[in-house]
Structure 1
Amino acid sequence: MALVIRDADVITMDDHTGVTPVRRTIRIEGAVVDLVAADPADVPIAQGDTVVGGRDRLVCPGFVNAHTHSWEYLAKGRYDNLPLELWMLYAYPILGARPLPPDLVRLRSALFAVESLKSGTTTLVDDVLETPGQDLRQLDAVFDAYDEVGVRANISGHIINRPFVDTLPYVADWLPADVVAQVRAVPVPTTEDYLAFSTEAFARYAGRGDGRLRYMVAPSGPQRCTDDLLAAATELAVRHGAECHVHVLETKTQAVTGREFYGTTLVEHMRRIGALSPNTTLAHGVWTTDDDIAALAEAGTCVSHNPVSNLKLGSGIAPWRRYHDAGVPIGLGSDGCSSSDTPRLHDVIKAAALLHKVTDADHESWPTVAEVLGAATRGGARTAQLHHDVGTIEAGKQADLLVYDLTTLAFAPRNRAELQLVYSENGGSLRQVVVAGQVVVDEGRVTTVDEDSLLAELRERLPGVQAEQDRVEARNAVFHETFDRMHRTTAAEDVGVHRWSGTPAAR
Structure 2
Amino acid sequence: MTIHISEANIIAVDAAHGTRPFKGDILIEGSRIAHVGEPLVTPDGARRIDGRNRLVIPGLVNAHVHSWEAMFKGRYDNMPLEIWMLYSYPLVGTKALDPRLIYLRSMIVAMESLKNGVTCLVDDIIELPVQGMDAIDAVFDAYHDIGIRANVSGHVINRPFVDTIPFTREYLPRDLIADVSRIKVPTVKNYLDFAGEVVKKHQDRSDRLRYLVAPSGPQRCTEEMLKAVHDFAREIKSAYHIHVLETKVQAVAGREFYGRTLVQYLDDLGVLTNISTLAHSIWVTDRDIACMAERGSSVAHNPISNQKLGAGIAPFRKLLDAGVNVALGSDGISSNDTSRMLDVMQVAGLLHKVTTPEYGLWPTASEIIYAATMGGARSVQLQNEIGSIETGKRADLVLFDLETINFTPQNDLLNHLVYCENGSSVEKVFVNGEIVVDDGELTKVNEGALVRELRERYDAFSEHHKGVEELNRRFEPYFKKIHKHCCGENIELNRYSAPPNEWLLS
For this structure pair, what is the TM-score category when the shorter chain's length is used for normalisation? over 0.9
Q: Could you give the per-residue CA deviations for residues 259-298 of structure 1, whole angstroms, max 9, x where no partner exists? A: 0000000000111111111111000000000111111111
1:320-469 equivalences under 5 Å are 320-469=316-465
The aligned counterpart of 2:35 is: 35
SS of residue in 2 equivalent to 1:467:
helix
Which amino acid in structure 2 is aligned with residue 183 of structure 1? V
CA distance in 1: counterparts of 2:246 and 2:257, whole angstroms: 16
Contact 2:315 / 2:500 at 8 angstroms: preserved in 1?
A: no
Distance 2:280 2:499 in 1: 12
Report the more deviating stretch, 261-270 or 181-190: 181-190
| Structure 1 residues 62-103: Cα deviation after superposition (integer angstroms, max 9, x where no partner) | 100000001110100000000000000000000110011111
Q: For structure 2, which runs of at least 5 residues remain unmatched after alignment?
A: none
- TM-score (norm: length of structure 2): 0.97
Aligned amino acid, residue 67 of structure 1: H
Could you tell me how far apart the structure 2 residues matched to 1:28 and 1:317 are? 40
Confirm or deny: 8 A CA contact 1:356 1:367 kept in the other structure: yes
CA offset at residue 44 of structure 1?
4.4
Query: Which of 312, 317, 328 is residue 313 of structure 2 equivalent to?
Result: 317
* 8 A contact 1:234–1:277 mirrored in 2: no
Counterpart among 222, 225, 242 of residue 226 in structure 1: 222
Distance, in Å, in 1 between the alignment partners of 2:312 and 2:453 is 38
Per the TM alignment, residue 499 of structure 1 is displaced from its structure 2 partner at its CA by 2.6
Q: Could you list the per-position Cα deviations for residues 326-372 of structure 1 after superposition, in whole angstroms to 9, with x for gaps in the alignment?
A: 11101000000000000000110011111111111111111111111
1:501, CA displacement in angstroms?
6.9
* Residue 201 of structure 1, CA deviation: 1.7
Query: Which secondary structure state, in structure 2, belongs to the residue aligned with residue 367 of structure 1?
Result: coil
Does the CA contact (< 8 Å) of 1:208 and 1:214 recur in 2? no
- Equivalent position SS for 2:474: helix
CA–CA distance in structure 2, aligned partners of residues 450 and 247 of structure 1: 34
Instruction: Output the CA distance in 2 between the equivalents of 1:501 and 1:146.
Output: 39
Query: What residue number does 1:166 align with?
Result: 163
1:185 counterpart (173, 176, 182) = 182
Determine the structure 2 residue equivalent to 1:19. 19
From 105, 108, 112, give the equivalent of 1:108: 105
Residue type at the aligned position of 2:492: D
Quote the Cα distance in structure 2 between the aligned partners of 1:153 and 1:427: 20
Q: Distance in 2 between matches of 1:83 and 1:498?
A: 19
Q: Which moved more, 1:394-403 or 1:180-189?
A: 180-189
Partner of 2:492: 494
Q: Alignment identity in percent?
A: 49
Query: 1:111 offset after TM fit, Å?
Result: 1.5
Q: CA deviation at 1:45?
A: 2.6
Q: 1:171: how far off?
A: 1.4
Q: Deviations over 1:32-85 (max 9, x none)?
A: 0010122x1xx3433211001011001100100000001110100000000000
CA distance in 1, matches of 2:28, 2:492: 55
Q: How many Å separate the matches in 2 of 1:46 and 1:11?
A: 24
Secondary structure of the 2:475 match is: helix
| Distance in 2 of aligned mates of 1:24 and 1:34 | 13
- CA separation in 1, counterparts of 2:373 and 2:21? 15
For structure 1, which runs of at least 5 residues remain unmatched after alignment? 503-507
Question: Which letter does structure 2 place at the counterpart of 1:37?
Answer: G
Contact 2:355/2:500, CA 8 A, preserved across alignment: no
Corresponding residue of 1:157? 154
Q: d(CA) in 2 for partners of 1:309 and 1:99?
A: 26
Cα distance in structure 1, aligned partners of 2:214 and 2:335: 19
Partner of 1:300: 296
Matched ranges for 1:25-174 at <5 A: 25-38=25-38, 40=39, 43-174=40-171
Deviations 1:160-187 (CA, angstroms, capped at 9, x unpaired): 1112222101112211112112211211
2:411 corresponds to which letter in structure 1?
Answer: N
1:119–1:346 contact (8 Å) kept in structure 2: yes
Contact 1:26 1:36 in 2 (8 A): yes
- Asked if the contact 1:234/1:276 (under 8 Å) is kept, the reply is no
Task: Classify the secondary structure of the residue corresponding to 1:216.
Answer: strand
After superposition, the CA RMSD in angstroms is 1.1
215-224 vs 158-167, greater mean Cα deviation: 158-167
Aligned residue for 1:255, secondary structure, equals helix
Asked if residue 471 in structure 1 is aligned to residue 467 in structure 2, the reply is: yes
Q: Deviations over 1:403-461 (max 9, x none)?
A: 11111111111111111100111111111111111110111210000001101101110
Q: Does 1:280 align with 2:276?
A: yes
- SS at 1:16's partner residue? coil
